[in-house]
Structure 1
Amino acid sequence: MNQVDGFESIRHRKTGMRELLEAVADGSLSPAQAEAELAGYVTGDAGRFDAARKQRRGIPEAILAEGKSTADVVALAEAALETTDRALVTRATETQIEALETELTVSFPDATVERRGSTVRATTDGFEESSLEATVGIVTAGTVDGPVADETEVVCADAGATVDRIDDVGVAALDRTLDQVDRLRDADVLVVAAGREGALPTVIAGLVDTPVIAVPVASGYGHGGDGEAALAGMLQSCTVLSVVNIDAGFVAGAQATLIARAIDDART
Protein backbone atom coordinates (compact mmCIF):
# COMPACT_ATOMS: atom_id res chain seq x y z
CA MET A 1 0.00 0.00 0.00
CA ASN A 2 1.47 3.40 -0.96
CA GLN A 3 1.15 6.55 1.15
CA VAL A 4 -1.82 7.90 -0.85
CA ASP A 5 -3.71 4.63 -0.48
CA GLY A 6 -2.94 4.64 3.24
CA PHE A 7 -4.38 8.13 3.72
CA GLU A 8 -7.44 7.13 1.66
CA SER A 9 -8.03 4.08 3.87
CA ILE A 10 -7.80 6.18 7.04
CA ARG A 11 -10.23 8.71 5.58
CA HIS A 12 -12.79 5.99 4.82
CA ARG A 13 -12.50 4.58 8.35
CA LYS A 14 -13.06 8.03 9.84
CA THR A 15 -16.09 8.56 7.61
CA GLY A 16 -17.55 5.22 8.70
CA MET A 17 -17.01 6.01 12.37
CA ARG A 18 -18.65 9.42 11.98
CA GLU A 19 -21.69 7.77 10.39
CA LEU A 20 -21.89 5.30 13.28
CA LEU A 21 -21.67 8.07 15.87
CA GLU A 22 -24.35 10.06 14.09
CA ALA A 23 -26.59 6.98 13.92
CA VAL A 24 -26.19 6.39 17.67
CA ALA A 25 -26.88 10.06 18.35
CA ASP A 26 -30.11 10.09 16.33
CA GLY A 27 -31.29 6.78 17.82
CA SER A 28 -31.28 4.78 14.59
CA LEU A 29 -28.47 2.59 15.94
CA SER A 30 -28.06 1.30 19.48
CA PRO A 31 -24.71 1.45 21.32
CA ALA A 32 -24.55 -2.36 21.16
CA GLN A 33 -25.04 -2.33 17.40
CA ALA A 34 -22.35 0.30 17.02
CA GLU A 35 -19.96 -1.74 19.17
CA ALA A 36 -20.66 -4.80 17.04
CA GLU A 37 -19.91 -2.80 13.88
CA LEU A 38 -16.63 -1.47 15.24
CA ALA A 39 -15.28 -4.41 17.23
CA GLY A 40 -17.12 -7.35 15.66
CA TYR A 41 -18.57 -8.30 19.03
CA VAL A 42 -20.74 -6.82 21.76
CA THR A 43 -19.95 -7.01 25.47
CA GLY A 44 -22.54 -7.47 28.21
CA ASP A 45 -22.74 -8.76 31.77
CA ALA A 46 -23.13 -12.33 30.46
CA GLY A 47 -20.03 -12.17 28.24
CA ARG A 48 -19.16 -11.25 24.67
CA PHE A 49 -21.29 -12.18 21.69
CA ASP A 50 -19.42 -12.64 18.40
CA ALA A 51 -21.70 -10.65 16.09
CA ALA A 52 -19.33 -10.89 13.12
CA ARG A 53 -18.83 -14.65 13.07
CA LYS A 54 -21.28 -15.23 10.21
CA GLN A 55 -19.41 -12.75 7.99
CA ARG A 56 -16.00 -14.03 9.07
CA ARG A 57 -16.63 -17.78 9.22
CA GLY A 58 -19.86 -18.41 7.33
CA ILE A 59 -21.58 -19.79 10.44
CA PRO A 60 -23.24 -17.63 13.12
CA GLU A 61 -22.25 -17.94 16.75
CA ALA A 62 -24.49 -20.28 18.72
CA ILE A 63 -25.14 -19.74 22.41
CA LEU A 64 -24.45 -22.91 24.37
CA ALA A 65 -27.01 -22.83 27.18
CA GLU A 66 -25.51 -25.77 29.04
CA GLY A 67 -23.77 -24.58 32.21
CA LYS A 68 -25.15 -21.04 31.96
CA SER A 69 -27.81 -19.42 34.12
CA THR A 70 -31.17 -18.71 32.54
CA ALA A 71 -30.56 -14.97 32.92
CA ASP A 72 -27.24 -15.22 31.09
CA VAL A 73 -28.76 -17.25 28.25
CA VAL A 74 -31.53 -14.70 27.78
CA ALA A 75 -29.07 -11.79 27.92
CA LEU A 76 -26.83 -13.34 25.28
CA ALA A 77 -29.82 -14.13 23.06
CA GLU A 78 -30.97 -10.52 23.37
CA ALA A 79 -27.49 -9.33 22.36
CA ALA A 80 -27.62 -11.65 19.35
CA LEU A 81 -31.01 -10.36 18.26
CA GLU A 82 -30.03 -6.73 18.75
CA THR A 83 -26.86 -7.02 16.66
CA THR A 84 -27.69 -9.71 14.07
CA ASP A 85 -31.51 -10.08 14.17
CA ARG A 86 -31.01 -13.78 14.89
CA ALA A 87 -30.20 -15.92 17.93
CA LEU A 88 -29.34 -19.63 18.02
CA VAL A 89 -29.36 -21.35 21.41
CA THR A 90 -28.32 -24.98 21.88
CA ARG A 91 -28.62 -27.45 24.79
CA ALA A 92 -31.29 -25.40 26.54
CA THR A 93 -33.32 -26.72 29.47
CA GLU A 94 -37.11 -26.42 29.62
CA THR A 95 -36.77 -23.54 32.08
CA GLN A 96 -34.37 -21.71 29.77
CA ILE A 97 -36.60 -22.31 26.75
CA GLU A 98 -39.67 -20.98 28.56
CA ALA A 99 -37.72 -17.87 29.58
CA LEU A 100 -36.51 -17.33 26.01
CA GLU A 101 -40.02 -17.70 24.60
CA THR A 102 -41.38 -15.21 27.13
CA GLU A 103 -38.65 -12.61 27.51
CA LEU A 104 -37.42 -12.34 23.93
CA THR A 105 -40.88 -11.48 22.67
CA VAL A 106 -41.14 -8.79 25.35
CA SER A 107 -37.77 -7.24 24.49
CA PHE A 108 -38.38 -7.67 20.75
CA PRO A 109 -42.14 -7.58 20.01
CA ASP A 110 -41.49 -8.57 16.37
CA ALA A 111 -39.43 -11.63 17.34
CA THR A 112 -40.35 -15.15 16.31
CA VAL A 113 -39.08 -17.86 18.65
CA GLU A 114 -39.00 -21.46 17.45
CA ARG A 115 -37.71 -24.58 19.17
CA ARG A 116 -36.72 -28.02 18.04
CA GLY A 117 -35.86 -30.27 20.94
CA SER A 118 -33.40 -28.38 23.12
CA THR A 119 -32.39 -25.98 20.33
CA VAL A 120 -34.00 -22.55 19.98
CA ARG A 121 -33.88 -20.17 17.01
CA ALA A 122 -35.20 -16.63 17.30
CA THR A 123 -35.38 -13.99 14.57
CA THR A 124 -36.72 -10.46 14.22
CA ASP A 125 -38.43 -8.94 11.20
CA GLY A 126 -35.07 -7.46 10.19
CA PHE A 127 -33.50 -10.86 9.58
CA GLU A 128 -33.06 -11.82 5.92
CA GLU A 129 -33.56 -15.54 5.43
CA SER A 130 -30.95 -17.28 3.29
CA SER A 131 -31.48 -19.83 0.55
CA LEU A 132 -28.98 -22.41 -0.69
CA GLU A 133 -29.36 -24.63 -3.72
CA ALA A 134 -28.16 -27.68 -1.83
CA THR A 135 -29.68 -30.51 0.18
CA VAL A 136 -28.39 -31.78 3.49
CA GLY A 137 -29.58 -35.25 4.44
CA ILE A 138 -29.73 -35.75 8.21
CA VAL A 139 -29.96 -39.38 9.25
CA THR A 140 -30.50 -41.00 12.64
CA ALA A 141 -30.04 -44.62 13.60
CA GLY A 142 -32.75 -44.46 16.29
CA THR A 143 -34.97 -42.21 18.36
CA VAL A 144 -32.24 -41.59 20.95
CA ASP A 145 -30.17 -39.84 18.27
CA GLY A 146 -32.94 -37.32 17.56
CA PRO A 147 -31.91 -34.47 19.92
CA VAL A 148 -28.39 -34.39 18.48
CA ALA A 149 -29.75 -34.42 14.93
CA ASP A 150 -32.12 -31.58 15.89
CA GLU A 151 -29.13 -29.31 16.49
CA THR A 152 -27.77 -30.19 13.08
CA GLU A 153 -31.12 -29.53 11.42
CA VAL A 154 -31.59 -26.09 12.96
CA VAL A 155 -28.13 -24.98 11.83
CA CYS A 156 -28.57 -26.23 8.27
CA ALA A 157 -32.09 -24.85 7.92
CA ASP A 158 -30.97 -21.50 9.31
CA ALA A 159 -28.36 -21.32 6.53
CA GLY A 160 -31.09 -21.87 3.94
CA ALA A 161 -30.21 -25.42 2.90
CA THR A 162 -32.95 -27.90 2.06
CA VAL A 163 -33.03 -30.50 4.84
CA ASP A 164 -34.12 -34.08 4.22
CA ARG A 165 -34.54 -35.77 7.59
CA ILE A 166 -34.39 -39.59 7.58
CA ASP A 167 -35.02 -41.09 11.02
CA ASP A 168 -34.76 -44.53 12.63
CA VAL A 169 -32.86 -46.45 9.95
CA GLY A 170 -30.28 -48.20 12.15
CA VAL A 171 -28.36 -51.27 11.07
CA ALA A 172 -30.19 -53.59 13.48
CA ALA A 173 -32.67 -53.93 10.62
CA LEU A 174 -30.62 -53.10 7.53
CA ASP A 175 -33.66 -53.17 5.25
CA ARG A 176 -34.68 -49.84 6.80
CA THR A 177 -31.44 -48.32 5.52
CA LEU A 178 -31.57 -49.91 2.09
CA ASP A 179 -35.13 -48.68 1.62
CA GLN A 180 -33.78 -45.10 1.80
CA VAL A 181 -30.82 -45.45 -0.57
CA ASP A 182 -32.35 -43.24 -3.28
CA ARG A 183 -32.95 -40.41 -0.82
CA LEU A 184 -29.47 -40.82 0.61
CA ARG A 185 -27.91 -40.60 -2.83
CA ASP A 186 -29.95 -37.52 -3.73
CA ALA A 187 -28.46 -35.46 -0.89
CA ASP A 188 -25.45 -33.22 -1.53
CA VAL A 189 -24.00 -33.91 1.92
CA LEU A 190 -25.06 -36.31 4.67
CA VAL A 191 -24.88 -36.05 8.45
CA VAL A 192 -25.40 -39.43 10.12
CA ALA A 193 -25.93 -39.68 13.88
CA ALA A 194 -25.66 -43.02 15.67
CA GLY A 195 -24.89 -44.38 19.12
CA ARG A 196 -24.10 -47.88 20.41
CA GLU A 197 -21.38 -49.26 18.10
CA GLY A 198 -21.87 -46.41 15.59
CA ALA A 199 -22.02 -48.60 12.47
CA LEU A 200 -24.61 -46.66 10.47
CA PRO A 201 -22.34 -43.91 9.04
CA THR A 202 -19.85 -46.52 7.81
CA VAL A 203 -22.62 -48.46 6.06
CA ILE A 204 -24.12 -45.35 4.46
CA ALA A 205 -20.73 -44.01 3.36
CA GLY A 206 -20.27 -47.26 1.43
CA LEU A 207 -23.48 -46.66 -0.50
CA VAL A 208 -23.17 -43.02 -1.61
CA ASP A 209 -20.72 -40.77 -3.44
CA THR A 210 -21.45 -37.69 -1.32
CA PRO A 211 -19.56 -36.41 1.76
CA VAL A 212 -20.64 -38.12 4.99
CA ILE A 213 -20.20 -36.49 8.40
CA ALA A 214 -20.55 -38.98 11.24
CA VAL A 215 -21.83 -37.94 14.67
CA PRO A 216 -21.32 -40.38 17.55
CA VAL A 217 -24.15 -40.19 20.09
CA ALA A 218 -23.80 -40.82 23.81
CA SER A 219 -26.02 -43.90 23.97
CA GLY A 220 -25.26 -47.45 24.98
CA TYR A 221 -24.09 -48.91 28.27
CA GLY A 222 -21.30 -50.91 29.82
CA HIS A 223 -17.89 -51.04 28.15
CA GLY A 224 -17.62 -48.31 25.50
CA GLY A 225 -20.92 -46.71 26.51
CA ASP A 226 -21.71 -42.98 26.45
CA GLY A 227 -20.67 -42.71 22.80
CA GLU A 228 -17.11 -43.95 23.23
CA ALA A 229 -17.59 -47.13 21.19
CA ALA A 230 -19.45 -45.18 18.50
CA LEU A 231 -16.65 -42.61 18.28
CA ALA A 232 -13.96 -45.29 18.06
CA GLY A 233 -15.88 -47.22 15.41
CA MET A 234 -16.41 -44.13 13.26
CA LEU A 235 -12.76 -43.13 13.53
CA GLN A 236 -11.82 -46.63 12.36
CA SER A 237 -14.35 -46.65 9.52
CA CYS A 238 -13.21 -48.59 6.48
CA THR A 239 -15.30 -46.32 4.26
CA VAL A 240 -14.33 -42.67 3.81
CA LEU A 241 -16.11 -40.26 6.14
CA SER A 242 -15.44 -37.39 8.55
CA VAL A 243 -16.14 -37.60 12.28
CA VAL A 244 -17.04 -34.94 14.84
CA ASN A 245 -17.00 -35.28 18.61
CA ILE A 246 -19.62 -37.10 20.68
CA ASP A 247 -23.03 -35.38 20.51
CA ALA A 248 -21.56 -32.52 18.43
CA GLY A 249 -24.66 -31.92 16.34
CA PHE A 250 -23.98 -28.20 15.97
CA VAL A 251 -20.45 -28.81 14.68
CA ALA A 252 -21.72 -31.37 12.16
CA GLY A 253 -24.39 -28.93 11.00
CA ALA A 254 -21.82 -26.16 10.63
CA GLN A 255 -19.55 -28.38 8.54
CA ALA A 256 -22.45 -29.54 6.38
CA THR A 257 -23.51 -25.91 5.90
CA LEU A 258 -20.07 -24.89 4.66
CA ILE A 259 -20.13 -27.76 2.17
CA ALA A 260 -23.66 -26.87 1.08
CA ARG A 261 -22.66 -23.25 0.59
CA ALA A 262 -19.72 -24.26 -1.59
CA ILE A 263 -22.04 -26.44 -3.67
CA ASP A 264 -24.53 -23.59 -3.97
CA ASP A 265 -21.75 -21.24 -5.13
CA ALA A 266 -20.68 -23.75 -7.78
CA ARG A 267 -24.25 -24.14 -9.05
CA THR A 268 -25.01 -20.43 -9.19
Structure 2
Amino acid sequence: MSPREILEQYKNGEITLTQALENLPSHGIEEMGFATIDTDREKRTGLPEVIYASGKTAEQVAQIAERMHQKGIDVLATRATPEMYEEVQKLIPGAVYNPLAKTIIYRESKYENDKGYIAVVAAGTSDMPVAEEAVETARFLGNRVESVYDVGVAGIHRLFHKLELIRNARVIIVVAGMEGALSSVIGGLVDKPVLAVPTSVGYGANFEGVSALLGMLTSCASGVSVVNINNGFGAACQASLINKL
Protein backbone atom coordinates (compact mmCIF):
# COMPACT_ATOMS: atom_id res chain seq x y z
CA MET A 1 0.00 0.00 0.00
CA SER A 2 1.36 3.41 -0.98
CA PRO A 3 1.83 6.29 1.48
CA ARG A 4 -0.97 8.18 -0.26
CA GLU A 5 -3.39 5.27 0.20
CA ILE A 6 -2.48 5.03 3.88
CA LEU A 7 -3.06 8.76 4.34
CA GLU A 8 -6.41 8.49 2.55
CA GLN A 9 -7.45 5.72 4.95
CA TYR A 10 -6.52 7.96 7.88
CA LYS A 11 -8.44 10.93 6.43
CA ASN A 12 -11.51 8.72 5.93
CA GLY A 13 -11.35 7.53 9.53
CA GLU A 14 -10.64 3.92 8.54
CA ILE A 15 -7.44 3.78 10.63
CA THR A 16 -6.03 5.77 13.54
CA LEU A 17 -3.07 8.12 13.36
CA THR A 18 -0.94 5.58 15.21
CA GLN A 19 -1.85 2.86 12.71
CA ALA A 20 -1.10 5.20 9.80
CA LEU A 21 2.35 6.03 11.17
CA GLU A 22 3.11 2.36 11.80
CA ASN A 23 2.06 1.41 8.26
CA LEU A 24 3.89 4.15 6.41
CA PRO A 25 6.72 2.41 4.56
CA SER A 26 10.28 3.65 4.66
CA HIS A 27 10.54 3.89 0.86
CA GLY A 28 10.38 7.43 -0.35
CA ILE A 29 13.23 8.31 1.98
CA GLU A 30 16.83 8.53 0.84
CA GLU A 31 19.24 8.64 3.79
CA MET A 32 22.55 10.44 3.27
CA GLY A 33 23.73 10.88 6.84
CA PHE A 34 23.80 14.68 6.76
CA ALA A 35 20.53 14.87 4.80
CA THR A 36 17.36 12.83 4.27
CA ILE A 37 15.80 13.29 0.83
CA ASP A 38 12.02 13.00 0.52
CA THR A 39 11.87 11.23 -2.84
CA ASP A 40 8.08 10.78 -2.64
CA ARG A 41 7.22 14.43 -1.95
CA GLU A 42 5.92 15.30 -5.41
CA LYS A 43 3.54 12.32 -5.51
CA ARG A 44 2.27 13.24 -2.07
CA THR A 45 2.00 17.02 -2.32
CA GLY A 46 2.30 17.98 -6.00
CA LEU A 47 5.57 19.79 -5.26
CA PRO A 48 8.98 18.08 -5.54
CA GLU A 49 11.83 17.98 -3.06
CA VAL A 50 13.92 21.16 -3.28
CA ILE A 51 17.35 21.95 -1.83
CA TYR A 52 17.49 25.01 0.43
CA ALA A 53 21.19 25.69 0.00
CA SER A 54 21.70 28.40 2.60
CA GLY A 55 23.69 27.05 5.56
CA LYS A 56 24.93 24.02 3.66
CA THR A 57 28.43 23.56 2.29
CA ALA A 58 29.03 23.53 -1.45
CA GLU A 59 29.96 19.84 -1.23
CA GLN A 60 26.74 18.98 0.63
CA VAL A 61 24.59 20.78 -1.94
CA ALA A 62 26.39 18.99 -4.77
CA GLN A 63 26.02 15.57 -3.15
CA ILE A 64 22.31 16.08 -2.48
CA ALA A 65 21.78 17.28 -6.04
CA GLU A 66 23.64 14.29 -7.45
CA ARG A 67 21.61 11.82 -5.38
CA MET A 68 18.35 13.46 -6.45
CA HIS A 69 19.51 13.33 -10.07
CA GLN A 70 20.33 9.63 -9.69
CA LYS A 71 16.81 9.04 -8.36
CA GLY A 72 15.28 10.76 -11.38
CA ILE A 73 14.25 13.89 -9.45
CA ASP A 74 14.64 17.24 -11.18
CA VAL A 75 17.00 19.47 -9.20
CA LEU A 76 16.23 22.92 -7.84
CA ALA A 77 18.48 24.53 -5.25
CA THR A 78 17.55 27.95 -3.88
CA ARG A 79 19.77 30.54 -2.16
CA ALA A 80 22.79 28.94 -3.83
CA THR A 81 26.21 30.54 -4.27
CA PRO A 82 28.47 30.45 -7.34
CA GLU A 83 30.78 28.09 -5.39
CA MET A 84 27.88 25.69 -4.86
CA TYR A 85 27.07 25.83 -8.55
CA GLU A 86 30.66 24.98 -9.47
CA GLU A 87 30.48 21.84 -7.32
CA VAL A 88 27.07 20.82 -8.68
CA GLN A 89 28.18 21.31 -12.28
CA LYS A 90 31.07 18.90 -11.74
CA LEU A 91 28.51 16.16 -10.99
CA ILE A 92 25.62 17.39 -13.16
CA PRO A 93 27.14 19.20 -16.18
CA GLY A 94 23.75 20.33 -17.51
CA ALA A 95 22.84 22.30 -14.40
CA VAL A 96 22.11 26.00 -14.91
CA TYR A 97 22.75 28.85 -12.48
CA ASN A 98 20.85 32.13 -12.24
CA PRO A 99 23.11 34.47 -10.23
CA LEU A 100 20.33 37.01 -9.64
CA ALA A 101 17.82 34.44 -8.38
CA LYS A 102 20.60 32.37 -6.73
CA THR A 103 19.04 29.19 -8.11
CA ILE A 104 20.61 26.03 -9.52
CA ILE A 105 18.34 24.05 -11.82
CA TYR A 106 18.58 20.80 -13.68
CA ARG A 107 15.28 19.75 -15.23
CA GLU A 108 14.79 16.77 -17.53
CA SER A 109 11.00 16.78 -17.63
CA LYS A 110 9.50 18.88 -20.42
CA TYR A 111 5.96 19.19 -19.02
CA GLU A 112 4.52 22.69 -19.15
CA ASN A 113 1.09 23.60 -17.85
CA ASP A 114 -1.00 24.87 -20.76
CA LYS A 115 -3.92 26.21 -18.73
CA GLY A 116 -2.47 29.67 -18.36
CA TYR A 117 0.48 31.64 -17.11
CA ILE A 118 1.72 33.15 -13.87
CA ALA A 119 2.60 36.85 -13.87
CA VAL A 120 5.47 37.91 -11.62
CA VAL A 121 5.36 41.66 -11.02
CA ALA A 122 8.16 43.50 -9.23
CA ALA A 123 7.84 47.03 -7.88
CA GLY A 124 11.48 47.99 -8.42
CA THR A 125 14.68 46.75 -9.97
CA SER A 126 16.00 46.20 -6.43
CA ASP A 127 13.21 43.65 -5.89
CA MET A 128 14.33 41.57 -8.87
CA PRO A 129 16.40 38.96 -6.98
CA VAL A 130 13.29 37.83 -5.08
CA ALA A 131 11.15 38.12 -8.22
CA GLU A 132 13.64 36.06 -10.21
CA GLU A 133 13.57 33.35 -7.53
CA ALA A 134 9.81 33.21 -8.04
CA VAL A 135 10.18 33.13 -11.83
CA GLU A 136 12.79 30.35 -11.81
CA THR A 137 10.80 28.29 -9.31
CA ALA A 138 7.52 28.65 -11.19
CA ARG A 139 9.15 27.65 -14.47
CA PHE A 140 10.88 24.73 -12.79
CA LEU A 141 7.45 23.56 -11.62
CA GLY A 142 6.22 23.51 -15.22
CA ASN A 143 4.46 26.85 -15.52
CA ARG A 144 4.62 29.51 -18.18
CA VAL A 145 5.72 32.77 -16.61
CA GLU A 146 5.50 36.40 -17.72
CA SER A 147 7.59 38.90 -15.76
CA VAL A 148 6.89 42.61 -15.36
CA TYR A 149 9.59 44.61 -13.60
CA ASP A 150 10.00 48.12 -12.20
CA VAL A 151 6.33 49.19 -12.16
CA GLY A 152 6.08 50.41 -8.55
CA VAL A 153 3.70 53.03 -7.23
CA ALA A 154 6.28 55.84 -7.46
CA GLY A 155 5.52 55.87 -11.21
CA ILE A 156 2.13 54.19 -11.35
CA HIS A 157 1.64 54.93 -15.07
CA ARG A 158 4.27 52.24 -15.78
CA LEU A 159 1.92 49.63 -14.30
CA PHE A 160 -1.01 50.57 -16.54
CA HIS A 161 1.18 50.06 -19.58
CA LYS A 162 1.42 46.36 -18.61
CA LEU A 163 -2.01 45.92 -17.07
CA GLU A 164 -3.53 43.73 -19.79
CA LEU A 165 -0.66 41.24 -19.53
CA ILE A 166 -1.12 41.12 -15.75
CA ARG A 167 -4.90 40.79 -15.90
CA ASN A 168 -4.72 37.87 -18.33
CA ALA A 169 -2.61 35.75 -15.96
CA ARG A 170 -4.29 33.02 -13.91
CA VAL A 171 -2.26 33.92 -10.81
CA ILE A 172 -0.26 37.06 -10.03
CA ILE A 173 2.80 37.24 -7.78
CA VAL A 174 3.56 40.80 -6.65
CA VAL A 175 7.02 41.47 -5.22
CA ALA A 176 7.59 44.77 -3.44
CA GLY A 177 9.70 46.33 -0.72
CA MET A 178 9.50 49.83 0.82
CA GLU A 179 5.86 50.11 2.03
CA GLY A 180 4.63 47.19 -0.13
CA ALA A 181 1.80 49.19 -1.69
CA LEU A 182 1.94 47.60 -5.15
CA SER A 183 0.08 44.44 -4.10
CA SER A 184 -2.90 46.50 -2.89
CA VAL A 185 -2.99 48.49 -6.13
CA ILE A 186 -2.92 45.38 -8.29
CA GLY A 187 -5.39 43.62 -5.99
CA GLY A 188 -7.89 46.39 -6.74
CA LEU A 189 -7.46 46.07 -10.50
CA VAL A 190 -7.65 42.32 -11.22
CA ASP A 191 -10.03 39.39 -10.72
CA LYS A 192 -7.28 36.80 -10.14
CA PRO A 193 -5.52 35.57 -6.98
CA VAL A 194 -2.72 37.90 -5.91
CA LEU A 195 0.20 36.50 -3.91
CA ALA A 196 2.14 39.31 -2.27
CA VAL A 197 5.84 38.93 -1.48
CA PRO A 198 7.36 41.60 0.79
CA THR A 199 11.06 42.20 0.31
CA SER A 200 13.71 43.58 2.64
CA VAL A 201 14.38 46.44 0.19
CA GLY A 202 13.93 49.85 1.77
CA TYR A 203 15.32 52.52 4.06
CA GLY A 204 15.67 52.21 7.85
CA ALA A 205 11.99 52.34 8.81
CA ASN A 206 11.37 49.50 6.40
CA PHE A 207 12.83 47.28 9.16
CA GLU A 208 14.28 44.85 6.60
CA GLY A 209 10.88 44.07 5.09
CA VAL A 210 8.66 44.18 8.18
CA SER A 211 6.90 47.38 7.07
CA ALA A 212 6.15 45.86 3.63
CA LEU A 213 4.96 42.65 5.28
CA LEU A 214 2.58 44.50 7.61
CA GLY A 215 1.37 46.73 4.79
CA MET A 216 0.52 43.70 2.66
CA LEU A 217 -1.12 41.87 5.56
CA THR A 218 -3.34 44.88 6.26
CA SER A 219 -4.20 45.46 2.59
CA CYS A 220 -7.70 46.77 1.94
CA ALA A 221 -7.79 44.98 -1.42
CA SER A 222 -9.70 41.70 -1.46
CA GLY A 223 -8.07 38.54 -2.82
CA VAL A 224 -4.53 39.35 -1.69
CA SER A 225 -2.63 36.77 0.34
CA VAL A 226 0.89 37.17 1.70
CA VAL A 227 3.98 35.00 2.11
CA ASN A 228 7.04 35.67 4.24
CA ILE A 229 9.70 38.32 3.58
CA ASN A 230 11.82 37.58 0.48
CA ASN A 231 10.02 34.25 -0.03
CA GLY A 232 9.76 34.21 -3.81
CA PHE A 233 10.09 30.43 -3.71
CA GLY A 234 7.04 29.96 -1.49
CA ALA A 235 4.92 32.29 -3.58
CA ALA A 236 5.84 30.41 -6.75
CA CYS A 237 4.93 27.06 -5.18
CA GLN A 238 1.52 28.37 -4.15
CA ALA A 239 0.97 30.00 -7.54
CA SER A 240 1.87 26.76 -9.30
CA LEU A 241 -0.67 24.78 -7.29
CA ILE A 242 -3.36 27.34 -8.12
CA ASN A 243 -2.41 27.50 -11.80
CA LYS A 244 -2.66 23.71 -12.14
CA LEU A 245 -6.12 23.42 -10.58
- Does the 8 A contact of 2:200 with 2:206 survive in 1? no
Corresponding residue of 1:20: none
Corresponding residue of 1:108: none
Distance 2:175 2:231 in 1: 10
Verify: 1:121 aligned to 2:102, yes or no: no
Corresponding residue of 2:121: 139
Distance 1:163 1:201 in 2: 18
Distance 1:48 1:59 in 2: 17
**C-alpha deviations, 1:74-94, integer Å up to 9, x for none?**
111112111134110000112
If you compute each CA radius of gyration, which structure gives the higher value, 1 or 2? Answer: 1
Q: Secondary structure at the match of 1:224?
A: helix
Q: Secondary structure at the match of 2:204?
A: coil
- Does the 8 A contact of 2:119 with 2:173 survive in 1? yes
Q: Secondary structure at the match of 1:49?
A: strand
- Does the 8 A contact of 1:41 with 1:49 survive in 2? yes
Gaps of 5+ in 1: 1-8, 10-36, 106-111, 263-268
- Does the 8 A contact of 2:74 with 2:109 survive in 1? no
Verify: 1:169 aligned to 2:151, yes or no: yes
Shift of 1:38: 5.6
Corresponding residue of 1:23: none
Q: Secondary structure at the match of 1:67?
A: coil
Percent identity of paired positions between Structure 1 and Structure 2: 38
Aligned partner letter, 1:139: V
Shift of 1:65: 0.6
1:44 to 27, 32, 49: 32
- Does the 8 A contact of 1:202 with 1:238 survive in 2? yes
Distance 2:76 2:202 in 1: 29
Corresponding residue of 1:226: 208
Q: Secondary structure at the match of 2:71?
A: helix
Gaps of 5+ in 2: 2-24
Distance 1:92 1:159 in 2: 18
Corresponding residue of 1:70: 58
Verify: 1:194 aligned to 2:176, yes or no: yes
Shift of 1:71: 1.0
Shift of 1:149: 1.3
Corresponding residue of 1:236: 218
Distance 1:128 1:94 in 2: 24
Verify: 1:130 aligned to 2:111, yes or no: yes
Q: Secondary structure at the match of 2:96?
A: strand
Give the CA RMSD over aligned residues.
Answer: 1.6
- Does the 8 A contact of 1:155 with 1:257 survive in 2? no
Q: Secondary structure at the match of 1:227?
A: helix
Distance 1:225 1:179 in 2: 31
- Give the stretch that moved more between structures: 203-212 or 38-47: 38-47
**C-alpha deviations, 1:34-77, integer Å up to 9, x for none?**
xxx96112111331111111111111121011011111111111
Aligned partner letter, 1:192: V
- Does the 8 A contact of 1:130 with 1:158 survive in 2? no
Corresponding residue of 2:233: 250
Verify: 1:150 aligned to 2:150, yes or no: no
Distance 1:195 1:201 in 2: 10
Shift of 1:103: 3.0
Q: Secondary structure at the match of 1:149?
A: helix
**C-alpha deviations, 1:200-255, integer Å up to 9, x for none?**
11101111000000000011121232101000000000002010000111100000
